[in-house]
């Protein structure tokens, strides 16, 4: 394998492996729900084991068909992201962009493993109908919306409410960093000239 391909794909492989190690540990050592919480930062950071049928941060598509469609979409998306990563490396795009796409690829693969195989491995569903394991919960700010606030007046406010996993975090970091650095990552120049004096030109 060319040296240029090693770092991004090893990074992705490491994240996928660590994500699965955490998920397997959570499934085998924790009880789902509030009763099984492990507090790491008091009430502001904890392991809170849940499983969801859908997208990142617990969002879902309804029914068995929605679950199957989501899993198939994820697989197709991962294939596309993988080809995109190879293209970026081959054409010597910005190293930061390549690493962020590698993070997105790792996160997508991590959750695909859950939704594709976990139902069969843990004997609760068929292929492509597994549930994604989430565990990180950081309710850093809690309170209630004021009564004058529209729609949610008086309701409980929690930031950050969603429970997520390492794969979700990798996808989010990759997307956010690409958005923040898009001017640097996508300069109006040929890709080959955006990689001066880099190991990415090595064969």
64 is catalytic: no
Strand ranges (DSSP E) for the chain? 38-39, 46-52, 132-137, 141-144, 156-159
Question: 15 CB contacts (<8 Å, ≥6 apart)?
Answer: 103, 106, 107, 110, 166, 167, 170
Q: Which of 19, 64, 114, 168 is catalytic?
A: 168
| d(C-alpha 114, C-alpha 23), whole Å | 9
Q: Which of 19, 64, 114, 134 is catalytic?
A: 134
Residue at token pair 């969603």: 162
134 is catalytic: yes
Please give the positions annotated as active site: 134, 168
């Amino acid at each position: 394998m060319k040296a240029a391909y090693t770092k991004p794909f090893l990074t992705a492989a490491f994240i996928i492996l660590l994500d699965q190690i955490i998920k397997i540990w959570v499934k085998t050592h924790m009880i789902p729900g509030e009763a099984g919480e492990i507090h790491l930062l008091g009430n502001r950071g904890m392991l809170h084991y849940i499983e969801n049928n859908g997208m990142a941060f617990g969002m879902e598509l309804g029914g068995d068909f929605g679950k199957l469609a989501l899993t198939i979409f994820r697989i197709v998306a991962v294939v596309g992201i993988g080809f995109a990563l190879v293209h970026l490396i081959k054409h010597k795009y910005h190293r930061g962009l390549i690493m962020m796409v590698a993070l997105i690829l790792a996160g997508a693969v991590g959750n695909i493993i859950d939704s594709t195989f976990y139902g069969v491995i843990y004997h609760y569903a068929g292929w492509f109908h597994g549930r994604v394991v989430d565990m990180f919960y950081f309710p850093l700010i809690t309170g209630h919306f004021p009564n004058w606030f529209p729609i949610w007046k008086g309701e409980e406010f929690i930031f950050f409410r969603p429970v997520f996993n390492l794969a979700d975090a990798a996808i989010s970091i990759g997307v956010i960093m690409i958005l923040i650095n898009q001017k640097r990552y996508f300069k109006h120049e040929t890709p080959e000239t955006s990689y001066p004096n880099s190991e990415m030109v090595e064969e």
